[in-house]
Amino acid sequence: MGERAQPNALLGAISQRTICRIGLLIGTRNVRDASGQAAADSLSALRAAALDSVLGWQPTADATPVEFREGRLMRFADGVLWWQDDYEYEWDLRR
């Protein structure tokens, strides 16, 4: 979803702590329930599976483990419930 870096900490070189935000978009629907309640009920299991696969993962050896930041309903339309969970990790940009 994006990255943002802190100001450079060195003279004559680059050293910036960088925060990377990842968004996982989950879509679920139940065609027998137009209200969305059945889709909402299945959302918990889908979010738990996503959380288990991403939480604590380290993209590189020098990165911090991925942490959960927030989750939110993105949209409910045509019987499909869309939810997004955001995660972050930090890494050092050095050149």
Q: What is the CATH number of the domain that holds 50?
A: 3.30.2000.10
Tally of domains in the chain: 1
The per-residue pLDDT for range 23-79, each reduced to its tens digit, is 999 998 866 666 667 777 788 999 999 999 999 999 999 899 999 999 999 998 887
pTM: 0.82
pLDDT at 85: 97
Residue 10's pLDDT band (boundaries 50, 70, 90)? Answer: confident
Query: Between these two residues, 37 and 22, which has the higher pLDDT value?
Result: 22
Dist CA 1 CA 28 (whole Å) = 21
Question: Is the distance from CB of 29 to CB of 55 less than 8 angstroms?
Answer: no
Q: Is 54 helix (H, G, I), strand (E, B) or coil?
A: helix
Domain span at residue 43? 2-94
